A and B are shown apart, each in its own frame.
Chain A
Amino acid sequence: MWLRSASFVLDKRLQQQEPSSYDPRDPAQLPPPFPSVNPMDQNPNPNHGISAYYQTRAEHHAVVTSDWLAQAQAAVGRDAAPSSGWPFAAASSSSAARTGSVGVGGKPFSVIDEFNYWRKKPDLAEAVAAIMALAAVIRSSEATTMMELEIELKKASDTLKSWDTTSISLSAGCDLFMRYVTRTSALEYEDFDAAKLRLIERGEKFGEISLKARRTIAMLGQDFIFDGCTILVHGFSRVVLEVLKLAASNRKLFRVLCTEGRPDRTGLRFSNELAALGVPVKLLIDSAVAYTIDEVDMVFVGADGVVESGGIINMMGTYQIALVAHSMNKPVYVAAESYKFARLYPLDQKDLAAALRPIDFGVPIPLGVEVETSARDYTPPQYLTLLFTDLGVLTPSVVSDELIQLYL
């Protein structure tokens, strides 16, 4: 099953390896995402090995960097057919989601499908998708009182959360919206329709709020980039990209080191983006971080989620980079939108639902050998210097405050 993961296909495109590992599907020149996406969309609970969260990411990035794929293949000398296949894949998959939703979920409307629909949008974060979905729920609900509406929403958000237990920002988004609903309802008891309209409208607006959040973060973050500095980036974070973009457009002179970011090659995509901006960029394999850290001035990472301790949960490898940076007294900056703040308090790495992620070792794994497929790790706050959020530049200790303010 993991063979059919989107990223696996990416890997394929990159290093042409023996087709042995996926002979069965070779004659059919279909772009692989079909099998990988469709079934996943139909069954509401994704209890297969792949964390849906990561799958979306993979697709998004695939869409974002189809041009890069083209380059890569040109370099490899393959035909560019599959790369052209990609956007199509994404589109079709989303459409498939629509149709599939109608087909499978007997009821005319399902949060999951709505969510999946939004999820497919390249520049929409999961949380946003979730909130969009919930807004859609409100619109389609025929509740007449605030209370009913809230109950309905609660149910919807629970289904959403249960649908992908691993995605932190999903749950965070749901919580945030629910919180907002209750507060508004508390405020505006007098007129239900008004409140409802307002909720919907806010929900719809949330998309652009998130975009704005990114811009704010970019504004704040780029101040920290000074001329002639070297930045180490791990993982593909849209926010970090935004920050660097802004800095580059402000004529800041800096260079970037990208970790390769196995297994889904985030570094390659990121470096591609930066190269397009004309920023001098250098790729490292993940294990070369300690080797290069001394020429690094600061470490920039994104975050899947920011937890109550002020630590972050991010792509696998962030923790060790933070450790290295800390031991070399290099600042570690995290760029994360505030809707990624989640009410979690992980005590150690194993303390959170592991998001599984297939890893392609290029060759078949011998029997009886276990593979660590967890896709992300938890970086404790003491290894982080500052968080750039749309709430401002925060020290890790502020995060818990915010969450407390919100939920108490």
Chain B
Amino acid sequence: MAPKKGHRFSSSEDPEELARVPLQAILLADSFATKFRPITLERPKVLLPLVNAPMIDYTLAWLESVGVEEAFVFCCAHSQQVKDYLNKSQWMKQPGTFTVQPIESHDSIGAGDALRVIYNLGVIRGDFVLVSGDTVSNMSLKEALQEHKERRKKDPLAVMTMVIKHSKPSSLTHQTRLGNDEILMAIDPDTKELLYYEDKTDQSQRFITLDKMLLASTPTLHLHNDKQLYRFPILMRKRLIPVVLFLEILKDCYIDICSPEVLSLFTDNFDYQHLRRHFVKGLLVDDLMGYKIFTHEIHSSYAARIDNFRSYDTISKDIIQRWTYPMVPDVQYFGNCSQMKLDRLGIYKAPEVDQSRTAQIRAFSLIGNGTTIGDHSVISYSVIGQSCSIGRNVSIQGSYIWDNVIIEDDCKLSHALVCDGVHMRYTHTHMLSVKFSFIIFCSKAYMMQKAISASVVNDFFLVDLIAWVPELLMVEVGQKIVIPAYSKVSLLPQPSKQDSDEELEYADANSGVVESPYRKPPRKRVFCILLIKVGISGVGYIWSTTEGGHEEEWRQSIAPIPAEKLMEFSLSAHTDLGVSNQDVNSLPASGELQLGSEGTGFDDGEDYKDSADFEKELEATFQRALAGVNPDNVILEINSLRLSYNMAHADCAGSLFYSIMKSALSAPFSSNRELLLNTGKELSRWKDLLKNYLKTIDEEIEVLLKFEEMCLETTKEFAPLFSAILNHLYEKDILSEDAILSWAEEKEGADESDKIFVKQSEPFLKLSTYKENNLKTLCAG
């Protein structure tokens, strides 16, 4: 019935018709990423159990609750599994207006492709909600939708509304609760328009390179961990507007309300793949089409996306603490999950839990149906799935244990993620092949630590494995092996390093998971890896940590951040505070930049500055200045630049002078004479600008040194004219004579090669010294 309705309305030209088209939603049931490897090698991420139901249920339930009538579930990787699940889930057959409709595609490697596919199907008729299948939320979309529609009426270019949420990162670690990348957003406080969006995706790249338009907003880059909120005018799209930069206070909920244009946009530019990285930034960057993205901020209600193990952990705990009410275990929001009983201290227990009298279940734990817990076992802050059996003296802390897991006596798990059908044992006795499971022998309790993510072997995959390497039927960790922190143990060999991210995405996207990447390592190597890595009786792989190395891992693992890390943080925090304070004090009184008093510049470990970069930037600014921007703005920009690069006035002056000279040089000249004239002109023209930075003698000396350096290296043209220009500078009293003198004095000690220019300017120096002496005598007389 829905389509018919749609057609009827779309036929009418009434602008109101948007309002009446049934609300649609696109649910991307494939995170086109590899964060959850190796689990996602056989199971789609959206079907991984979150607290006690598959993630996708949370998302669907939310969509249903916000009044979405048609949801299109786009499944790509393991699409069959997703479809099967949906077919037997309640969503298909439930009464009411909410219809779920899977869309399958095999060759999509990113959200972009997905949206293109959907566009080609032409099922989307009006505004639609775009979420990924791992979103947990209980917000109500009503006002967001309303705003969106209003805006659409006013200005058809507002194609998208992003839902954002306040979320303070922990004061110490300066990272988000969800452990995902810092996001840098510039939002117009009045119109709520999103002006600038940057998620620092790759840690390797130290600097976010910005298009010239947003140049001035770069200052925030080094402040990106600050909880403050800066208001200052930035030059944008050739117009000066006040912009609020929210840094990290805002969390992107990855819930978007889009207009149909979005789809067409995706189809227009085929390079769009990643929603944020490409699409959003793309829209923001090009001002030809002038599409706008707006934001809607939610406060009390909950919305978050499971992006990595950390967020999996965090969100699970939020759910157990009922922030996602009514999507909490004991409300059995999704019909399929078993009735939970909420006990004191937030302990959720299924009706049939066989708990020994001596076993303790501590606060904020969830025990699934049919699970048995042996004597003296202690469980705290953990989620235990269905029909697990936990032996005696087991201690499980902050871990996530999925269904049908067997944990034998005396195992100790802390902050582990244990997938379906895993069998963990303490004693080293031989264990015949347990189907659909991997076995971990650990002879020392503390061996099981941190994120161990195992994988259940599905039928089809099992077959394939046998055909491939029969020994790999199960992963065993030999009893001599200590599983290092943050390591992942799996049946599946890790895709070899050289696969780029893109390739991985390909692989993940393929429904036949058993394709390319793990065929890459030759079998021989496979086996020895497994001997070395996993130990004598062990079969399987320990996945080495991802390219980010531990930098990434501690951010994104389930385990809490290790103490020493925290120590580092607190230390660095202090030092940086010191630094930034003094640099705040060194602000020019005339600085147009109104920093909050707490403007504590803080940069995590990026203390080295390459001034070359700075110079380039500054020169660029200067070029624009030449292009005839009014000098105030130039000053402004330079200031902000200086701040962003943490440069002293001296450097600033130096490089400014440099660019001035270059501009002088750029002008055509036949003889040194002309050049001198040009320089004179340029200097007189930019005198004031330069003056801004020549507050003290040091800067002037800096300028001199710079000049000298230029003459030596970059612009030899000035070499002959050195003294002349020096003189000129003196005349234009850009440089005071004491500066020059002290420069000369400095040079005294230097070797000959350096002295050339000093020599060159002997006469001038003499003159000045002579003058000085006169003055002295006069004073004396």
Chain B minimum-CB-distance residue to A280: B357
User: In the assembly, what is the distance between CA of A21 and CA of B255, in Å?
Assistant: 88
Shortest beta-carbon distance from A248 to chain B in Å: 9
B343 touches A251 (CB 8 A): no
Shortest beta-carbon distance from B356 to chain A in Å: 9
User: In the assembly, what is the distance between CA of A227 and CA of B359, in Å?
Assistant: 12
Inter-chain pairs besides A228-B344, A251-B355, A253-B355, 6 sampled, C-beta below 8 Å: A227-B343, A251-B353, A251-B354, A253-B357, A278-B357, A280-B357
**Which residues of B have CB within 8 Å of A228?**
344
User: In the assembly, what is the distance between CA of A228 and CA of B360, in Å?
Assistant: 10
Chain A minimum-CB-distance residue to B352: A251
Residues of chain B in range 340-357 having any CB-CB distance to chain A below 8 Å: 343-344, 353-355, 357
User: In the assembly, what is the distance between CA of A227 and CA of B344, in Å?
Assistant: 10
Chain B minimum-CB-distance residue to A226: B343
Shortest beta-carbon distance from A148 to chain B in Å: 58
Shortest beta-carbon distance from A226 to chain B in Å: 8
> B residues engaging A (CB < 8 A)?
343-344, 353-355, 357
Contact residues of A: prevailing secondary structure: loop
Residues of chain A in range 344-372 having any CB-CB distance to chain B below 8 Å: none
**Which residues of B have CB within 8 Å of A227?**
343
The list of the 9 closest CB pairs from A to B, nearest first, reads A253-B357, A227-B343, A280-B357, A251-B354, A253-B355, A278-B357, A251-B355, A228-B344, A251-B353
Shortest beta-carbon distance from B602 to chain A in Å: 48
A-B contact pairs, 9 of them (CB 8 A): A227-B343, A228-B344, A251-B353, A251-B354, A251-B355, A253-B355, A253-B357, A278-B357, A280-B357
**Which residues of A have CB within 8 Å of B343?**
227
Residue in B344, B353, B355, B357 whose Cβ sees the most chain A Cβ within 10 Å: B357
**Which residues of B have CB within 8 Å of A278?**
357
Shortest beta-carbon distance from A48 to chain B in Å: 46
A-B contact count (CB 8 A): 9
User: In the assembly, what is the distance between CA of A278 and CA of B356, in Å?
Assistant: 11
User: In the assembly, what is the distance between CA of A280 and CA of B358, in Å?
Assistant: 10
**Which residues of B have CB within 8 Å of A253?**
355, 357
Chain B minimum-CB-distance residue to A278: B357
User: In the assembly, what is the distance between CA of A269 and CA of B121, in Å?
Assistant: 78
User: In the assembly, what is the distance between CA of A278 and CA of B354, in Å?
Assistant: 15
Q: How many residues of A contact B (CB 8 A)?
A: 6
Shortest beta-carbon distance from B368 to chain A in Å: 16
User: In the assembly, what is the distance between CA of A251 and CA of B353, in Å?
Assistant: 9
User: In the assembly, what is the distance between CA of A227 and CA of B355, in Å?
Assistant: 11
Residues of chain A in range 305-354 having any CB-CB distance to chain B below 8 Å: none
**Which residues of A have CB within 8 Å of B344?**
228
User: In the assembly, what is the distance between CA of A278 and CA of B355, in Å?
Assistant: 14
User: In the assembly, what is the distance between CA of A251 and CA of B349, in Å?
Assistant: 13
User: In the assembly, what is the distance between CA of A251 and CA of B354, in Å?
Assistant: 7
Shortest beta-carbon distance from A299 to chain B in Å: 21
**Which residues of A have CB within 8 Å of B357?**
253, 278, 280
**Which residues of B have CB within 8 Å of A280?**
357
**Which residues of A have CB within 8 Å of B355?**
251, 253
User: In the assembly, what is the distance between CA of A228 and CA of B357, in Å?
Assistant: 10
Shortest beta-carbon distance from B723 to chain A in Å: 92
Shortest beta-carbon distance from B390 to chain A in Å: 15
Mark interface residues in A240-275 (1 if CB within 8 Å of B CB, else 0).
Answer: 000000000001010000000000000000000000
Shortest beta-carbon distance from B354 to chain A in Å: 7
User: In the assembly, what is the distance between CA of A370 and CA of B731, in Å?
Assistant: 126
User: In the assembly, what is the distance between CA of A253 and CA of B343, in Å?
Assistant: 13
User: In the assembly, what is the distance between CA of A227 and CA of B342, in Å?
Assistant: 12
User: In the assembly, what is the distance between CA of A191 and CA of B344, in Å?
Assistant: 62
User: In the assembly, what is the distance between CA of A280 and CA of B357, in Å?
Assistant: 9
User: In the assembly, what is the distance between CA of A227 and CA of B354, in Å?
Assistant: 13
User: In the assembly, what is the distance between CA of A237 and CA of B353, in Å?
Assistant: 30
Chain A minimum-CB-distance residue to B349: A227
User: In the assembly, what is the distance between CA of A245 and CA of B357, in Å?
Assistant: 15
**Which residues of A have CB within 8 Å of B353?**
251
User: In the assembly, what is the distance between CA of A256 and CA of B355, in Å?
Assistant: 18
Mark interface residues in A218-241 (1 if CB within 8 Å of B CB, else 0).
Answer: 000000000110000000000000
Shortest beta-carbon distance from A45 to chain B in Å: 50
Chain A minimum-CB-distance residue to B341: A227
Residues of chain A in range 2-24 having any CB-CB distance to chain B below 8 Å: none
User: In the assembly, what is the distance between CA of A280 and CA of B343, in Å?
Assistant: 21
Residues of chain A in range 146-177 having any CB-CB distance to chain B below 8 Å: none
Shortest beta-carbon distance from B265 to chain A in Å: 57
Shortest beta-carbon distance from A330 to chain B in Å: 17
User: In the assembly, what is the distance between CA of A352 and CA of B354, in Å?
Assistant: 48
User: In the assembly, what is the distance between CA of A236 and CA of B689, in Å?
Assistant: 100
User: In the assembly, what is the distance between CA of A227 and CA of B343, in Å?
Assistant: 9
User: In the assembly, what is the distance between CA of A180 and CA of B357, in Å?
Assistant: 46
Chain A minimum-CB-distance residue to B359: A253
User: In the assembly, what is the distance between CA of A14 and CA of B344, in Å?
Assistant: 42
Shortest beta-carbon distance from B444 to chain A in Å: 31
Chain A minimum-CB-distance residue to B356: A253
User: In the assembly, what is the distance between CA of A220 and CA of B344, in Å?
Assistant: 23
Chain B minimum-CB-distance residue to A227: B343
Shortest beta-carbon distance from A251 to chain B in Å: 7
Residues of chain A in range 271-287 having any CB-CB distance to chain B below 8 Å: 278, 280
Shortest beta-carbon distance from A280 to chain B in Å: 7
User: In the assembly, what is the distance between CA of A234 and CA of B641, in Å?
Assistant: 82
Chain A minimum-CB-distance residue to B357: A253
User: In the assembly, what is the distance between CA of A228 and CA of B344, in Å?
Assistant: 10
Chain A minimum-CB-distance residue to B354: A251
User: In the assembly, what is the distance between CA of A159 and CA of B275, in Å?
Assistant: 95
User: In the assembly, what is the distance between CA of A120 and CA of B355, in Å?
Assistant: 40
User: In the assembly, what is the distance between CA of A184 and CA of B383, in Å?
Assistant: 61
Chain B minimum-CB-distance residue to A252: B357
User: In the assembly, what is the distance between CA of A407 and CA of B355, in Å?
Assistant: 49
**Which residues of A have CB within 8 Å of B354?**
251
User: In the assembly, what is the distance between CA of A228 and CA of B362, in Å?
Assistant: 12
User: In the assembly, what is the distance between CA of A253 and CA of B355, in Å?
Assistant: 9
User: In the assembly, what is the distance between CA of A389 and CA of B355, in Å?
Assistant: 30
User: In the assembly, what is the distance between CA of A228 and CA of B353, in Å?
Assistant: 15
Shortest beta-carbon distance from A224 to chain B in Å: 16
Shortest beta-carbon distance from A132 to chain B in Å: 40
User: In the assembly, what is the distance between CA of A138 and CA of B354, in Å?
Assistant: 51
User: In the assembly, what is the distance between CA of A251 and CA of B350, in Å?
Assistant: 13
User: In the assembly, what is the distance between CA of A253 and CA of B354, in Å?
Assistant: 11
Shortest beta-carbon distance from B603 to chain A in Å: 51
User: In the assembly, what is the distance between CA of A277 and CA of B354, in Å?
Assistant: 16
User: In the assembly, what is the distance between CA of A251 and CA of B355, in Å?
Assistant: 8
**Which residues of B have CB within 8 Å of A251?**
353-355
User: In the assembly, what is the distance between CA of A345 and CA of B355, in Å?
Assistant: 46
User: In the assembly, what is the distance between CA of A278 and CA of B357, in Å?
Assistant: 9
Chain B minimum-CB-distance residue to A279: B357
Chain A minimum-CB-distance residue to B358: A280
User: In the assembly, what is the distance between CA of A253 and CA of B361, in Å?
Assistant: 12
Shortest beta-carbon distance from B564 to chain A in Å: 38
User: In the assembly, what is the distance between CA of A287 and CA of B118, in Å?
Assistant: 79
User: In the assembly, what is the distance between CA of A227 and CA of B347, in Å?
Assistant: 12
Chain B minimum-CB-distance residue to A254: B357
User: In the assembly, what is the distance between CA of A174 and CA of B344, in Å?
Assistant: 47
Chain B minimum-CB-distance residue to A248: B357
Shortest beta-carbon distance from A24 to chain B in Å: 49
Shortest beta-carbon distance from A256 to chain B in Å: 12
Shortest beta-carbon distance from A314 to chain B in Å: 29
User: In the assembly, what is the distance between CA of A278 and CA of B353, in Å?
Assistant: 18
Residue in A253, A278, A280 whose Cβ sees the most chain B Cβ within 10 Å: A253
